[in-house]
Each structure stands twice: as C-alpha cells, then as structure tokens.
Structure 1
C-alpha cells in the first residue's frame, strides 16, 4: 500500500473551494482555527446541548449531553495534538522544512480539537439508540414501500439507511450544502475533515468488523466524491480502486483516542452523580492506573490528595483529571511508537487498545462495568425505547408522505420539513428525498423530536403561535 507522508497529510484547502492552497498566517485566526469557530458557532453544534449522551435529559442532576461531551473531547484532543505535534517536530527538526514545523508545532492541536468538536455532530436524538431506530425503520419496510425502496435505490444507497451511521452523517452534515447555493457545507479544511472520518469507506464496504477502518461507514453514497477529493489531495491510500474504501488518516487515531478516553471516564463520573456507582468503585479502578507511576503521579501521592478532599464529587473530578492527563501521555507515546504502521495504513487497532497489558486490563474492566451498570441502567433503556417509538413514528409519517407526495395529508406533513431539506417528489431523486427526511429527523434535539411526534400523531394538540 502507498505510504502516507507527514508533509502531505494536512491542507488548508476547503470543501467547495479550489482557492487558497496555502495557509494564511497573517490573520488573527489561522485556517485551522477558523474550522473550530465555524463548528462551535453552528446551529448543528448548538443542538447537541439537547441530545442525549447516555443518561436522559433534562434531569434534576446535571449529566453530560452531546455538547458538553464534545467540548470535553475537544479539550483532550487539543492536548493530544499538542503532545504529538511537539514529538514530531522534535523527531524531525530539519528534515521537512519550516511549513512542516509550523503546522505540527502550532496548528495540529487546532485540527484535532476541531475534529473532536464535530465528531458527534451527525448523531440523531436519543443517543446511539437513535441510529438503531433509523436502521430498524428501514429494515422493517414491507410491501410496496419495500419494493420501491429496493427497486429505486442502489445496494450502497439502501445500506446508507439500513445501516445508518452517525459518523457518516457527521461528514454529510459538515460537507453538504443542502438547499444553499454555496457549495461545501461548513467549508472546513481537508485536514479537519479527514481527522474525523473514523471509518473511511462507504456503506457497501463498511460494517466488516474484521478491520478497524471498515468497522462501520464514514460517508454516504452522496458524499463519495467529496471524500475521494479529500483523500486524493492528502495522499490517503485506496488499497483497491474498485472499492470505496481507504486507509485511515493518522489524525483520526488522535480524535478517536480523545473520545475513547473521555467517554469511559466521564460516563463513570455521571453514574456517580446519579448514585449508580460508588466512590469506592471509582477509586479502586482509577487509582489502579497509578500503581507503577513514580514522582508526581505516584500512587501514594495521588491517593493522599484524593483522601484529603472532602466532597465526593470533587474526589471524582480530581481522579478524572489525573487519569486523563496520564492517558494523554500514554497515547502520545503509542502514536510515536506506531508511526510506521500509521503511515502505511496498517495499524488495525485503536491507540487505546495498545496500552500496556496491565492498564489495558483496567480499561476492559471499566468497559465491562459500564455495560452492566451504566448502559443497561433502567433510565438508559427507557430512553432507548422512547427513541425507537418517536423516531420510528416520525419516519413512518414522513416516508409515507415522500411515497405519496400528492396525498392531502402528505402535502401537510411535508410542509413541516425545513426548507433546507429539499423534497423534490421526482422519481429519480427518491434516494435524495429519503435522505432529506432522515436529515430532518436526525438533526432534531430530543425535546423537539418528542414534541413534533406528539403533535403529528395527535397525542398533543398544537398551540397557535
């Protein structure tokens, strides 16, 4: 496979534009800082404040939502980018020139932070169960609906819905112009976009769990050409040119690691606030990471500070900060050790899975505990079931309207869909019309989805505004 090159893995070129192929360092904000700003000021990002992370929202106890989670992942990602960027410039002080040094020393943290900030921007309401609800709806199509779905959509297009994936939807959200005249969506740099495509393959070649890069999918049929342009510009290998499947960009591993670190630790913090996990359990698992540390991070020193803190929530916050810091440096070292595999596209496990055996065993114990006590907690299961009903119910109404757009009720239903999601009613654009209703539903917040579902099903009577 073609070997990637650190010099060509970044570019300020933006989607929807062929201009400014070099970064502009003269402004207050560099090209890559602009990416972060464009994401954080967007409506799609703000809506994450009312999308479920794990536990239902809102509640009497504050827990993380998709927005607070994304902000924290971005913070960890920025630190990882800084740590790795410094390590690369120290390893290659003269070999690649000043532009290489400027990017990796000063810009990589912004790229990784922006990728982290946007990594969940395509997730539907109700957590991961929202993705399952969309898949479930299309898998249960019957009769004429199923016949038309299979007759008018290519196999890859069908799988975009049968295996709906939030990661692919994030790439679409950020790059598709929807009903706007300006191409390129958010018009982010190729470097930032490449850093968040964890599974660089289409739906037809994805969902092959034998390999990390094809575990899920990273772009829909409608965004294949956009991804191909990015991959070509950055020199990302395509092992088989007959398949829309590519090697992972090395920056993806840092975005993924930031998310892997955060959700494991933060989900425990939320569970503690909800009295699902005891302080003793958290102390046992988190402090064990420091058993073999020395100096400032020696276990006896960390444990003493932990016990000196009076408030249990503050105790958890202290351990969370110490553990995140420890794992940032572990991931940096693993990234540098695996440099050759990263550049050849042969690294087939996440960075966190390359932790030393003792620490990896602790991570697996955290995962097992989370599955048993957090992800299958009654409140989590309840919101997952609600997601199936609400999302499935709305898709049933809107999909029926797309199938029969001239029906009186259908005409009314389609009026509820935002104008940015075009419903053409043209037979050869059936795939695009289905995408529009999925775009509309996936972009909803939890509360808006529940409110609209109640209204269109007659469970609640709309108020005149």
Structure 2
C-alpha cells in the first residue's frame, strides 16, 4: 500500500527511468521524451507494420507509424485542454511545480505516450499478437509431454507466453537494457511511462469485464520495472485481487481516448479510399457525429461538404477533422466531469464510451467496421498470412532456443546464429528469459522483414 495517496500534485514525475540525475538543457524533460521516441529504431519500424489494411501498393492507407502520429496529435490537444483545467484547481494553484506541469507539460506527456503506445505491437496487426502465442497455446494440454514442457515455466510465466500482449511489450521495449545498450532503455520520464500502462496488472490478474484488467500491462520479467513506476507515480493498488494489480494512472484515460477517437474515424476514411465503403456511407456516419457538437453550425458544415464534393476524399477529410474535434472536446468534458473519480481510481469506464449522446453513432460505426472493414477479404487474407508467418518464426526460434545446447541440431544452431547481438541469451538463463529474447526479436520485425525471413527459413526464397 502506498504511504501517500495519489493527488493531482503528486501523480507526475520528471525523473527518468534508469537515470539517477536528469541532464540539463533547453528542452523540458517531457519534450525530450517525444524526441527520444521519434528518433528511435522501434518507432521508425512502425512505418512497415500493418494497422488494419495491407501495406499499400498504390492507394495510401494508414500504417502503425502514421496512426501513432495522428493519435499523438489528438493526445496533445486533450492534454492541453485538461492541463489548462487542472492548473486552476485550488490544490494545484497552491503548488507551483504542479501548476507549471499542467499548464505547460501535460500536453507533451500525453503526446509522447501516444507516440509510443503501439511500439510493442508486432507485424500483421492483431493477428500477429495471437500468432506469437500459438506455439504455447498448442502445448497447453494435459499430455505428459506438454505437462513436462509447461513445468519449465512458473504459472505466471506460462500465462505471459500463451497470451502475448503488445501493451506489456511496449513497456519492455521502452525500459529494458539490451546487451550493449544503456541502462534504462529509452530513459523516459516516469510520467510518460505511467501514461502508457493501459492495463496495470500482471497477466494472472487479467479479467474480462474489468476495463483496467481486460488484458495485462507487463511481463513477469519486468515486474520490478512496473512496481517502480507505480511507486514513483503513487498509483493506487487494486485490492480486489490477490495478484499484482493497480488502478489506472489518470493520464492513461487521455492516451486511450486519443487512440479510440483515431481508429474509430480513420478506418472509415481508409476504407473509402480503398472502395470498401461508399462516400454516402462514410459521410452519413461522420455527419451524425458532427451534428452532436452544439458549438458547430451543422448547416454550414453541410454547405462546406457540398462545395468539396467534387473531390470526395477532400470532403471526407474535412468531415474527419470535424468528427475528431467533436469527440476530443466531449472526451475532455467527460474527463473533467469525472476527475474526482479518476484521481481516486474509482472511474472504471473509457471516456469515449461515456458520451451518452454519441453511443448510437459510435455503435453504428463499430457495427459497419466489423461487417465490412475487418472482414474485408484482403484484410482477412493478410491476417491469415501474418498468422502463419509469425507463428512459424516463433516455432523456429523458440524451438532452437529451448533445445539444450548439447542436443541442438545443425539447423537449430544456424537459426540462433541469425540473432543480432542484443537478442542473444546466456545458456544459463531460464527458459522464460530465453523465450522472451526470441519474442523481443520477432515482435520487433516489420511485415516485410518477417515475410522475407519466413520465406528464407522455409526454403521458399534464397
């Protein structure tokens, strides 16, 4: 249990993970977080990772990188609006450091966290996550051989492996010290790290129906990292379970809202460009959202749309901007209305789901997306291909890593020779640590690299 309860004055920290003393410079610590992420290799690789649709040949659609940049843009706006409000709270007004943080820096924390929120996601969209776990799910049986195999891992370790989670992997990427790299990984501020942990619990505490425990936020190997972040940021323990679990950090709600806003709207725009949805379908859905913004003159919006209609992509881009603005403003208002429950850990919804007047409109978008976008033939084909590619790579590398050194065949040795130096393990490492090294490698691959390597290892391409 924390010695101090979380307040708006102590839930942030400019300290950097892995550093004893921060460097001085003209940029704030939170501006540096953004720069460290955007100049990193894992961030650059997002440009060749699928968001929803196959990477384009002719028509441009979003990838993980463009999605992350847009989420960061929305997140900065949310952070600015909320920061301005929180800076006027009586307790914050009396605390010069807190007032300065909310007035000037919350927007930078949320933007940086949004920028990094997808870093842990593997290639080929959500099928990549499931594919990484396939190797272990196949062995989760009651056969003597599989029971013996599972016995090489603790229950918590086994649960991590058979339920790979991109959110947990993001924290690992941002904080782990790889061979030949500096201590502390990206060395981000605790504030930015806390804003990324959407599910602040271990995998054994996961529980459907609980927003903050729907999935999990860290691998067992990174438990000390997570607990350090939770302690520094005064996060509130969740005492409803015996496993390690905390309530969400307040900033998480803003990062989550920015992500929710973007993928609800942007997938519609992409699907129109690809000819999956008609202009009428998309414009009707977006206009319905804008119409709920009392500050908008909906007739003026419709007139502008008519003027742009000769270029349907431009007309939808205009409606997309108006829709995102409507949702961002309402999410900000919902956060402010529920700020007391948020800071005490008693708020258990998402901001975008807590907008009553837009429930029907957002449900209509979700229903159409499931029916026509996520089940679109090319999307399904990509998911199936990605599933086979990623699960095949996991099987090759994990089998080689877990085969005892003296029993490794030439093929196993050759596979392990492909490991870059930062992913190599010690033979004395536990099986769990060895597997994580393999997953570190595979989850970081781009779609194209994973495809090429899979073809190489299968003898399809030399």
Please state which band the TM-score falls in when normalised by the shorter chain.
over 0.9
Contact 1:11 / 1:234 at 8 angstroms: preserved in 2?
A: yes
Q: Does 1:196 align with 2:196?
A: yes
Q: Does 1:167 align with 2:167?
A: yes
Q: How does 1:40-439 map to 2 (within 5 A)?
A: 40-92=38-90, 95-141=93-139, 146-180=146-180, 182-206=182-206, 208-240=207-239, 242-294=242-294, 297-309=296-308, 310-356=310-356, 358-404=357-403, 405=405, 406-426=408-428, 429-439=430-440
User: In structure 2, the residue corresponding to 1:7 is in which secondary structure?
Assistant: coil
> Taking structure 1 as reference, are residues 256 and 294 closer, same or farther at Cα in structure 2, changes over 3 Å only?
closer
- 2:19 maps to 17
**Deviation (angstroms), 1:180:** 3.0
Unaligned ranges ≥5, structure 1: none
**Deviation (angstroms), 1:222:** 0.9
Give, in whole Å, the separation in 2 of the partners of 1:145 and 1:343: 49
Contact 1:112 / 1:255 at 8 angstroms: preserved in 2?
A: yes
Note the alpha carbon deviations across 1:2-33, whole angstroms, 9 max, x for none: 7520111110111112334xxx7x73211011
User: In structure 2, the residue corresponding to 1:17 is in which secondary structure?
Assistant: coil
> Taking structure 1 as reference, are residues 147 and 195 closer, same or farther at Cα in structure 2, changes over 3 Å only?
same
User: In structure 1, the residue corresponding to 2:93 is in which secondary structure?
Assistant: coil
Q: Normalized against structure 1, the TM-score is what? A: 0.94
Give, in whole Å, the separation in 2 of the partners of 1:293 and 1:242: 44
Of stretches 132-141 and 310-319 in structure 1, the one that deviates more from structure 2 is: 132-141
Contact 1:330 / 1:355 at 8 angstroms: preserved in 2?
A: yes
**Deviation (angstroms), 1:425:** 2.5
Unaligned ranges ≥5, structure 2: none
Note the alpha carbon deviations across 1:186-217, whole angstroms, 9 max, x for none: 111100000010000011112x0121110000
Give, in whole Å, the separation in 2 of the partners of 1:186 and 1:278: 43
Q: Normalized against structure 2, the TM-score is what? A: 0.95
> Taking structure 1 as reference, are residues 294 and 230 closer, same or farther at Cα in structure 2, changes over 3 Å only?
closer
Contact 2:176 / 2:183 at 8 angstroms: preserved in 1?
A: yes
Q: CA RMSD in A?
A: 1.7
Q: How does 1:439-450 map to 2 (within 5 A)?
A: 439-450=440-451
> Taking structure 1 as reference, are residues 298 and 178 closer, same or farther at Cα in structure 2, changes over 3 Å only?
same
Of stretches 86-95 and 380-389 in structure 1, the one that deviates more from structure 2 is: 86-95
Give, in whole Å, the separation in 2 of the partners of 1:448 and 1:376: 25
User: In structure 2, the residue corresponding to 1:6 is in which secondary structure?
Assistant: coil
Give, in whole Å, the separation in 2 of the partners of 1:182 and 1:156: 28
> Taking structure 1 as reference, are residues 162 and 96 closer, same or farther at Cα in structure 2, changes over 3 Å only?
farther
Note the alpha carbon deviations across 1:173-192, whole angstroms, 9 max, x for none: 10111213532111111000
- 1:37 maps to 35
Of stretches 238-247 and 318-327 in structure 1, the one that deviates more from structure 2 is: 238-247
Contact 1:224 / 1:244 at 8 angstroms: preserved in 2?
A: no
User: In structure 1, the residue corresponding to 2:251 is in which secondary structure?
Assistant: helix
Give, in whole Å, the separation in 2 of the partners of 1:139 and 1:322: 44
Give, in whole Å, the separation in 2 of the partners of 1:350 and 1:294: 22
Give, in whole Å, the separation in 1 of the partners of 2:92 and 2:226: 32
Give, in whole Å, the separation in 1 of the partners of 2:282 and 2:182: 49
Give, in whole Å, the separation in 1 of the partners of 2:362 and 2:273: 21
Of stretches 277-286 and 441-450 in structure 1, the one that deviates more from structure 2 is: 277-286
Give, in whole Å, the separation in 2 of the partners of 1:421 and 1:279: 47
**Deviation (angstroms), 1:329:** 1.0
Contact 2:93 / 2:99 at 8 angstroms: preserved in 1?
A: no
User: In structure 2, the residue corresponding to 1:204 is in which secondary structure?
Assistant: helix
**Deviation (angstroms), 1:146:** 3.2
Give, in whole Å, the separation in 2 of the partners of 1:187 and 1:292: 42
Contact 2:92 / 2:98 at 8 angstroms: preserved in 1?
A: no
**Deviation (angstroms), 1:145:** 6.9
User: In structure 2, the residue corresponding to 1:431 is in which secondary structure?
Assistant: helix
Contact 2:171 / 2:197 at 8 angstroms: preserved in 1?
A: yes
> Taking structure 1 as reference, are residues 293 and 437 closer, same or farther at Cα in structure 2, changes over 3 Å only?
closer
Contact 1:292 / 1:298 at 8 angstroms: preserved in 2?
A: no
Contact 2:34 / 2:111 at 8 angstroms: preserved in 1?
A: yes
**Deviation (angstroms), 1:292:** 4.5
